[in-house]
């Protein structure tokens, strides 16, 4: 695993604009990371991916000619706040700065508006680097400790 910072093409699309094969590869990466790798059987597909306002960000290609390297989704809550979730990178490319690149892209879109996320507790420091602060107690989410975080 390299500790160098690399960059990859950042893509952003609403679900209606996503080619079906690419959408499948994005979902597969999430399942590979959050369900298989973390050995956490939970309902990864929660319906929010299909909301008209959900923005999907990913690094790499379409999953056919180039692999998908990382992913996150940006949701719009009913309160008007943004919510970042499902941040992940492929195991083979971790430590290369791709998670930071995804966060920078999503936060550029959020701008100075409020943004929320629920961080896996061991990754809270990563999100603090982007101005997020813990706003509640740690809690268990399907066997993984999480903390609620907010960036104003």
Domain ranges of the chain: 10-151
Give the pLDDT score at 62. 65
pLDDT in tens, 92-106: 999 999 999 999 999
Write down the pTM of the prediction.
Answer: 0.89
Give the pLDDT score at 63. 63
Question: Where does 10-151 sit in CATH, by number?
Answer: 3.40.630.30
Cα 72 to Cα 91, 118, 136, 137, distances in angstroms: 15, 13, 22, 24
- The answer to whether residue 114 scores a pLDDT higher than 80 is yes
Give the pLDDT score at 2. 45
Contact 79, 62 (CB under 8 A): no
Question: How far apart (Å, rounded) are the C-alpha atoms in residues 55 and 16?
Answer: 10
What does the mean pLDDT of the chain come to?
Answer: 91
- The answer to whether residue 3 scores a pLDDT higher than 70 is no
Question: How far apart (Å, rounded) are the C-alpha atoms in residues 32 and 10?
Answer: 20
pLDDT in tens, 22-79: 999 999 999 999 887 777 777 778 899 999 999 999 998 766 778 899 999 999 999 9
């Amino acid at each position: 695993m390299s500790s160098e910072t690399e960059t990859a093409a950042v893509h952003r699309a609403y679900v209606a604009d996503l080619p079906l094969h690419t959408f499948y590869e994005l979902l597969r990466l999430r399942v590979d990371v959050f369900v298989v790798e973390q050995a956490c059987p939970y309902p990864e597909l929660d319906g929010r991916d299909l909301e008209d306002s959900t923005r999907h960000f990913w690094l790499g290609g379409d999953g056919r000619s180039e692999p998908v390297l990382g992913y996150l989704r940006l949701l719009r809550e009913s309160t008007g706040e943004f919510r970042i979730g499902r941040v992940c990178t492929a195991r083979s490319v971790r430590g290369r700065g791709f998670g930071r690149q995804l966060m920078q892209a999503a936060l550029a879109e959020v701008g100075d508006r409020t943004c929320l996320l629920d961080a896996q507790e061991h990754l809270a420091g990563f999100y603090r680097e982007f101005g997020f602060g813990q706003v509640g107690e740690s809690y268990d989410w399907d066997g993984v400790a999480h903390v609620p975080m907010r960036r104003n």
